[in-house]
A and B are shown apart, each in its own frame.
Chain A
């Protein structure tokens, strides 16, 4: 981040996996970071401790971001401590996989609420301040599944494809104010979220190995940086060639 800029980054779902790696990467770039979590308070505290031990600044901000009140409170806590949120990473997400005939309404709603609706609410809350600051970076963590079929994930795929479309649209709305909106679409990444997947999926990954959270975080770090100032509305796949 530039020295004259006072503000912070917020990463949702940052208590583990891709979110935790991203929070650490942004902190390493000098951003004070809000470490968002819902159920993982202890894990979020550990991420904060790790960032502080490395000389960075961080604050754990908890709450169910599918509720508007939590979104407001999280932003207020961060604004009070670190100033305007200039980097928002919408990473929080969940899976409720099943073949379509067996996806219940509640599985559909839970996935869409967390993966897509919450990302929109966070974005809507962040944008006015970014417009005023004439600077902002929003990075949505989509998925290769939003671009390419993966049977058993109709709800997840719809939420992630929705994120890609939302990314493009909002990017076009705010581009003239120095605010960029991009998506990163990870493929098979080794995290708690994918621990239950068997080796079948690896067969369609040209790299023949799963990716790491750090490999995704590196892309987010770039998109959040001043170096990516002319990149907006893009979806960067990080998938070992899976969607190629």
Chain B
């Protein structure tokens, strides 16, 4: 399983979110999922990717509290530590 450095997590999460539709330049730490048109099903997919890459399990309640790209990155980095 890959090491979850903050840089690695950020780069993989940005890549994953961009694959759901938004341009990669739009996917900044402060961008909200609402702005990016990232929906709940996208976040379920993101959770699966995060679990596969770093073994970090994100539950439904975790996902509901996420508002921005930065929130997601910080949560994964904290959980993987």
Q: Is the CB of A173 within 8 A of B41?
A: yes
One digit per residue, 1 when the CB lies within 8 angstroms of any chain B CB and 0 when it does not, for chain A 132-168 equals 1000000000000000000000000000000000000
Q: Does A206 contact B (CB under 8 A)?
A: no
B44 within 8 Å of A (CB atoms): yes
Contacts of B48 on A, CB cut-off 8 Å? 128, 131-132
Which A residues lie within 8 Å of B45 (CB)? Answer: 128, 131-132
> Considering only CB atoms and an 8 Å cut-off, how many residues of chain B contact the other chain?
4
B41-64 interface code vs A (CB 8 A; 1 in, 0 out): 100110010000000000000000
Q: Please give me the residue from chain A that is nearest to B19 by CB atom.
A: A132
Residue A203 at the B interface, CB < 8 A? no
**11 other A-B residue contacts (CB within 8 Å) besides A132-B45, A132-B48:** A128-B44, A128-B45, A128-B48, A131-B41, A131-B44, A131-B45, A131-B48, A173-B41, A174-B41, A176-B41, A177-B41
Query: Which residues of B does A touch, CB under 8 Å?
Result: 41, 44-45, 48
The 7 closest A-B pairs by CB, nearest first: A128-B48, A131-B45, A132-B45, A173-B41, A177-B41, A174-B41, A176-B41
